[in-house]
Chains A and B, each alone.
Chain A
Amino acid sequence: MADAAVLSTGSSVAEGRRRRNWVPYALLLPGLLWLFVFFVVPMITLASQSLQEGNVDDGFVFTGNVAVYGQALTTYWPQMLRSLLYAGTATVLALVLGYPLAYFIAQKAGRWKNVVLVLVIAPFFTSFLIRTLAWKTILSDNWVVTDWANKLGVTSVLQALGLTANDSLLFSPFAVVMGLTYNFLPFMILPLYATLERLDPRLLEAASDLYASPWQTFRKVTWPLSLPGVVAGTLLTFIPASGDFINARLLGNTQTTMIGAVIDSQFLRVLDYPLAAALSFVLLVIILVLVASYVRKAGTEELL
């Protein structure tokens, strides 16, 4: 009797385990389905579209026309390069601005922590478009910022660097990079905050106890331990920033067009779908290669 009881419990436990083994997969299903319908299918459609020929009126036919990729690169490499440059600059600026702020919130803000965090996220409550339009006002010619920039000689420095023109700040590479930096700053701050918040202050004390000056403590302890946040923050800033098409359009001029705007106009105005799709893929591959090499470097702690 006793043996039978043990056996039956044993088998029901095994059964329960088998049933439970299905649960993770069942939970994964909606997400996988979502990714399949809204990511995998569009990617395949886009890939096939890039290899089609024709026009909107007569329809597109799949011809396996690989030449479109060459055309995309030779025609639009300046916009491509510019996008990466602007996005890269904005990412570095966001890191320089965001790191001290994230450090402050995580380690020093005390009871103000939540208030400052809300302030960081607050801009998200208004639309991306409105926030960018606000910068148009901030940097406009008849506003104090431009006034002061002129008085303090900032404009002449920016002009000498070719970042602005005609004593104004707006409609310039400078304005575009400012807009990008501003719009993506929270994406930098939040992951940085998350890692710096977990930084054990006792490690900083230990470093100080072991003759490390405040700078050395930062360089040898704080920075390497915050690398996961730095990597996450820079990726979350760089990737969307390099595909952005709003900032360049609202704050830039014809010489600051970024690749996102090109793709946008090819799709919606020129209606050259194959070229637009090819451009999208080129951008995707470039970003993937950059990100992969960056993450590999960060993994071996050689970053910066």
Chain B
Amino acid sequence: MGDTTVDRTGKGDLSLVALTKSFATFTAVHPLDLTIEAGSFFALLGPSGCGKTTTLRMIAGLEDPTGGRITIGDEDITDTKAYQRNVNTVFQSYALFPHMTVVDNVMFGLKRRGDKDAKRKAREALELVQLEQVATKRPTQLSGGMQQRVALARALVNRPDVLLLDEPLGALDLKLRRQMQIELKRIQQEVGLTFIHVTHDQEEAMTMADRIAVMNAGRMEQLGDPATLYERPSSTFVANFLGQSNLLRASVLGSESGNGVVRVRSHDTELEVVRDHLPQGVGDVWLGVRPEKLRLGESGGPNRLSGLVRDVSFTGVATQYSVEMPWGQELTVVQQNDGTARARLGENVTVSWAAEHGFALDASQDAEAGAELVDDRG
């Protein structure tokens, strides 16, 4: 897209300092501190009503914060109007102007700033999203996926310091969504702008983002890259909201120095967990293991539990088992379809895992937090 692209970026990181939004009866966003690196693909992930969209709207200038500051580089934009900010949004509803052609929609922002080269830039932006052939059509004549790309081009063409995406793929069907995820990531890497993507879809966030902030009830639960969030969740909410987790109640028995492994006791069984995966100074914990880290049989590692296979569901690439423990809890085990023997319903099996595959969380939290939200995702 030309050299101008590169010049505009790197204006600076976006910083939110104690950003707060309260309405009459509730607080949508509790004081939020967050720095988003320039040029990165950042995701705000959380269930509906967690405050992620409100945060996005405050960055866009469409919502006035109750407190706190927003800065881009050295520039404080907290008190500027939406139209004065070098920030653009791809709206969930696309919000394309129905009385204008596609290319006029894309030129809208450039024209408001008196850009003489608006037409050429708009054409280039449409090329980037592979829609140059529909430039003179009206938005209503296009499919949902195409409208989505027009909305993206309309925001991108302005080369904003920050590009905000509000659940932009929510209205698309699954196949198109996957395709657009890859497309969005490609475009972001090509133009090098800072993207902030709001979504409730954990898979979407993990596929696309360099870094993710998980939000819940107006607060940021955890911030990190997708792998860290998945492997080392810091709360039961994150453990359940990002993928599935088996959480076992356990008490810490004390450290066995030397190999960096700590022994814990869960339901009369001694188990091991890597010390780095254990919160400091906590006696009672939830010991978490992801379903795909569990192995049927004893090959998984030194941690072993026995139970009864209650449910088997074969999905092709993998088989998911529900294994009932003697104390009634059911563990979910996902085993790759790698040709090893499969367990049968009603069979007694041993489940095993390695010490480094477990993570421990403070037991004062609700083990079900975030889990109930997984099912009703749109």
Contact = CB atoms under 8 A, between A and B. Distances in A.
A44 B99 CA distance: 42
Nearest to B84: A211
A208 B83 contact: yes
B101 to A, nearest CB: 12
A39 B109 CA distance: 51
Of B88, B95, B158, the most chain A CB neighbours within 10 A belong to B95
B109 A210 contact: yes
A202 B82 contact: no
B82 to A, nearest CB: 4
A225 B108 CA distance: 15
A203 interface: yes
Interface in B350-374: none
Contact of B112 (A202, A211, A225, A301): A211
Interface in A201-229: 202-203, 205-213, 216-217, 220-221, 224-225
Interface residues of B, number: 24
A200 interface: yes
B70 to A, nearest CB: 15
A216 B88 contact: no
Contacts, number: 63
B44 to A, nearest CB: 17
Nearest to A208: B82
Main secondary structure of the interface of A (DSSP, over half): helix
Given A210-B112, A210-B154, A211-B112, A202 B81 contact: no
Contact of A208 (B81, B96, B97, B158): B81
A207 B108 contact: yes
A18 B38 CA distance: 67
B98 interface: yes
B98 A216 contact: no
Given A210-B109, A210-B154, A211-B109, A205 B82 contact: yes
Nearest to B113: A211
Which of A202, A209, A217, A220 is most buried by chain B, counting CB atoms within 10 A of its CB?
Answer: A209
A210 B88 contact: yes
B112 A224 contact: no
A220 B111 CA distance: 11
Contacts of B96: 206
B89 interface: yes
Interface in B99-139: 99, 108-109, 112-113
Contacts of A217: 83
B111 to A, nearest CB: 9
A195 to B, nearest CB: 12
A210 B81 contact: no
A225 B82 contact: no
B93 interface: yes
B99 A206 contact: no
B60 interface: yes
B112 A221 contact: no
Contacts of B89: 206, 209
A147 to B, nearest CB: 44
Contact of B82 (A200, A209, A301): A209
Given A206-B89, A209-B89, A216 B112 contact: yes
Residue of A203, A210, A212, A216 most packed against chain B (CB within 10 A): A210
B91 A205 contact: yes
B291 to A, nearest CB: 40
Contacts of B158: 210-211
B62 interface: yes
Contacts of B155: 209-210
A203 B95 contact: yes
Contacts of B88: 209-210
Contacts of A212: 83, 108, 112
Interface string B45-63: 0000000000000001110
Contacts of B98: 203, 225
A203 B97 CA distance: 7
B161 to A, nearest CB: 13
Contacts of B99: 224-225, 301
The 7 closest A-B pairs by CB, nearest first: A206-B95, A210-B109, A211-B112, A208-B82, A202-B95, A209-B89, A211-B83
11 contacts: A200-B95, A203-B97, A203-B98, A208-B61, A208-B82, A208-B83, A209-B89, A209-B155, A210-B154, A211-B158, A301-B99
Interface of B: 60-62, 81-84, 87-89, 91, 93, 95-99, 108-109, 112-113, 154-155, 158
Given A206-B95, A209-B89, A211-B109, 18 more contacts: A200-B93, A200-B95, A202-B95, A203-B95, A205-B82, A205-B91, A207-B83, A207-B97, A209-B62, A209-B88, A210-B83, A210-B112, A210-B155, A211-B83, A211-B158, A212-B83, A212-B112, A225-B98
